Every structure is written in structure tokens, then in C-alpha cells.
Amino acid sequence: NEPFRKSWDGDKTRTAGSSDIKTFLKNNSLIWYGAFAITMTEQMITNLTGRLVVDRIIPGSALAIGAASMTGVLLGFRTFSTLAIVPLMGVLNDKLGRKMVMLYTLFIEIIILALFPLSSNWLVLCIILSVQFMTAVSARLGIYVLAGDRAAVNNNRGDRALYMNRFATFVDIGTSLGPIVAYSLYSTVGFNFVILLGISVLTPLIYLILKKQIR
């Protein structure tokens, strides 16, 4: 049997080359589920931005601006948020700790998501969408930091690379499913159900973070 190794969150984790897939997934549930849930929710909202502009923002505003231009402005703000938040997240992680930063970020994102169905004003909707972009970027950066911490437990460089490759697989699953799920639900049951799904997949992540001993 391969030796168990004490990791940063207090779990007994097998080495990265373990053949016991079930144990490996269980002991890394926070990282794997977080990578999937955060990226899927982010991609759902991002890919529906254009539809929100066409269906809810442009009709409610008196702005002489095309849907493509408005969508470009909002998605451009998302890109700017990524550049601006990276150094800020680094400072907050060092001062408050990874656990508190992730919890605050997820709480804010869930609250922002819950506000989407309640907003009918186009300007309020733009503000909510912009804040959601920032919290989504923060959550994604947070889970990358946690994955990097866990990978650093392995002294072997090949094991670290293997761990991050597995992490990237869950990120890719969430990224791929996000647009498919978003457009499927939007065209059948509406945007509010997309929001409900996003809240539903992020909420268990809060429980996992509270359960783990993250510094």
C-alpha cells in the first residue's frame, strides 16, 4: 500500500500516483468540486451576458447603443476585473487567510446571484452583472490558490504536475458544461432557473470549505 501523507487541510491524502480513485477524489473533494462549480457558474453567467443585454438591458434603457456594443463593454469590464483583482486577492489571502477570503467571496457571489431575479431596472442589472463578474473571478482565483497549495505538498515535481493536470480536468468540465447548461435552461425554463442552479452548485462549496482546515 502506498503511504498516506498529511496535507495542508488535515486530511490523510494518498500520494498523487495512487490507484485508489475513490479515496483520492474524496480526500480532494473541496478542490475538485470547487474547480467544477466555480467555473461552471462563471461560464453560465458569462455566456448569457449577450442574451441578458438583448432581452432585459437594451429594452429597459433609452440608450442609443447596440446589443453587441453593450455586451462588449460588460465583457470588457470582466477582463479588467481579472487584471485588477489578481494583486488584491494576493494581499487579502496573505492578511485574512485563504479560508476567510473564499468564504466571503462565495457569500457575496451567492447574494449577487440571488439579486438577479429581483432586479427589473436595466442600470441595476448592469451593476449586479459587473459585481458578479468580480466575485466570479475572485472565486476562481481562490480555488486556483488552494489547488496550488495542495499540489505543493508533493515533493516530486512530476506528482505536482499530475495533480494540477487533474485539477485542470475539473476546470475544463465546468468550463465546457457552463455554456451548454446555460443556453439549454435559458431557452426552456428561463434565466431565473439558471440563477437557481448557480446558487445550488456554489452552496455546497461553502460547507466543504468550513469542513476543511484551511489556513
pLDDT, one tens digit for every residue, the chain (215 residues): 333 344 444 444 444 444 445 555 556 788 899 999 999 999 999 888 888 877 777 776 656 566 667 777 777 777 787 787 878 888 888 888 888 889 999 999 999 999 988 877 878 888 888 888 889 988 998 899 888 888 877 656 667 788 888 899 999 999 999 999 999 999 899 889 999 999 999 999 999 888 865 55
**Do 194 and 186 form a contact (C-beta atoms < 8 A)?**
yes
| pLDDT recorded at residue 145 | 86
* CATH architecture of the domain with residue range 28-53+67-211: Up-down Bundle (1.20)
Can you tell me the distance from the alpha carbon of 107 to that of 206, in angstroms, rounded to the nearest whole number?
8
18: left (phi over 0), alpha (psi -120 to 50) or beta: beta
| pLDDT recorded at residue 19 | 47
The cell numbers describing 34, all together, are 470547487
Domain boundaries, the chain: 28-53+67-211
Stated as kind and residue range, the H or E segment containing 14 is strand 12-14
Read off the pTM. Answer: 0.79
| pLDDT recorded at residue 22 | 54
| pLDDT recorded at residue 125 | 85
